[in-house]
Amino acid sequence: MNFVLTLIIAFGISFILTPITATLSKKYGFVDDPRRHKHPAVLHKKIVPRAGGVPIFLAFLTAAILAVPYSQHLAGIILGGMILVLAGILDDKYDLASSHKLLFQLLAALVVVAAGIGISFITNPFYSFGIGASSVIRLDTFRIIFDFLGTHSIVVLADLFAIFWIVWVINMVNFSSGVDGQMPGIAAVALIVIFAASLRFYPQDPGQVIVSRLALAGFGATLGFLIYNFYPAKIFPGDSGSYFLGFLIAVLSIASGAKVGTAILVMAVPLIDGVFTIMRRIVLGRSPFLGDRGHLHHRLMEIGWGQRRIALFYWLLCAILGAIALTLSSFEKLFAGAIVAIIVVGGLLWLNMNLPLGVRK
C-alpha cells in the first residue's frame, strides 16, 4: 500500500470514529466534568467527552496492519499501545493514582523492549572535536544471557535507556495537553518529522520504509482527531490519547535509527516546559505529579493569549524546530537544543516571577 493510501485510511477512520467515540463517551460517563474534576489546570466550563485515544489508536491500528507486514516489532508496538489506551480509558473513568499510571507506562515500555526495539547506540555529538574514541556510543556491550525456554539476553544499558526514553516522552507529551488542540498538533508535527527523517532512506532500507509508514499512519490518525479537538474542543484526547501518541513518538524515534536527538529538538519546547515544571514543583516542596497552572501554556493565557493562538504557537515552534532538526548534525542539534532551552527557561522564569501561581484571567 502506498503512502497516500496509508494516510487517507488513517485519517478517514479517525475522522469517522471520533464523533462516534464522543457520543459513546458521554453515554457511558467517560467525560471531563469541571464541576467534579477540580483540577487547577482545568480551563473548560462545560462537560466534554474524553477517551480520544480510542479513535486514534483504532485508526492507527487499521492503517498499520494494512500498510506494513506483520513482525515482532509491530506486535510490540500494538500491544504496548493497547495497554496505554486501556490505562487512559480507566483513568478517564476512575482517575487512577499516578503510581498506577506509571506502572502501565512501564509495562508498555517493557513490552516494546521485549519485542526487540531498543537503543543500541547513540551518536557522539562531540566526536568531530576529538572527544571520544568513536562517532557512536555503544549501549549494547553489557549483556545478561540466560536460558528460559531457549537462550535469551538482556542488553542492560540499551534496554534501560529505551524504557526511560519511552516513559519520559509519554509523560512530557501528556504534560503538553494544555489548551484545545495543543497536544495532538505537537504530536502530528513530531510524527511527520519522523516520517520525513525515515523517508530519506527509501527505498534502500526496508526497515525505514516500515517506520515511515507507521509514522504516517499515526500522523493521519492524529489529524483526523485534531479536527474535533481544536478550540472549542468537542472531545478531549484524555490520557488514552496523550499516552498513546507519546508512546508512538518515542518508539518510532527509536525504530527510525535511534533519532532521539531529532525527536528531542522537535518537541523541545513542551519537553523543556515539562522538565521545568517538575523541577519547580520539587523546589516548592510539592509533588511533581500534582497539577497547577504553571505550564507555559497557562502563563501565556494569563497574559491574554487565547487557546487557538497558543495551540498554533506551539505547532509553529515544533514545525520550525522539526525542519531545522532534519538538516543538522548531532552536535548542531545539541547546540540548537541548548539555545532553545535557555530561551524557554528564561521566559518561564520571567513569567513565573511576574505571574504568581493562582493568578486568573
pLDDT of the chain, 361 residues: tens digit per residue: 688 999 999 999 999 999 999 999 998 888 877 666 555 555 556 789 989 999 999 999 999 999 999 998 999 999 999 999 999 999 888 888 888 999 999 999 999 988 888 776 566 555 555 565 565 555 666 666 644 444 445 666 778 888 999 999 998 898 888 789 999 999 999 999 999 888 876 666 777 888 999 999 999 999 999 999 998 999 999 899 999 999 999 999 988 765 777 888 888 888 888 888 888 888 888 877 666 677 888 888 888 888 999 999 999 999 999 998 888 877 777 788 889 889 888 888 887 777 655 433 3
Residue 103: which residues within 8 A CB-CB, separation 6 or more?
A: none
Please check if 354 is assigned to a binding site. no
CA atoms in the 13 A half-sphere facing the CB of 240: 31
Residue whose grid cell is 473513568: 93
Question: Which residue in 126, 152, 121, 153 sits closest to 137, CA to CA?
Answer: 121
Q: What is the pLDDT of residue 140?
A: 62
Q: What is the pLDDT of residue 150?
A: 46
Please check if 180 is assigned to a binding site. no
Residue 117 near residue 166, CB atoms below 8 Å: no
Q: What is the pLDDT of residue 228?
A: 96
Q: Phi and psi (nearest 5°) for 146?
A: -145, 160
Biggest alpha carbon distance in the chain?
Answer: 63
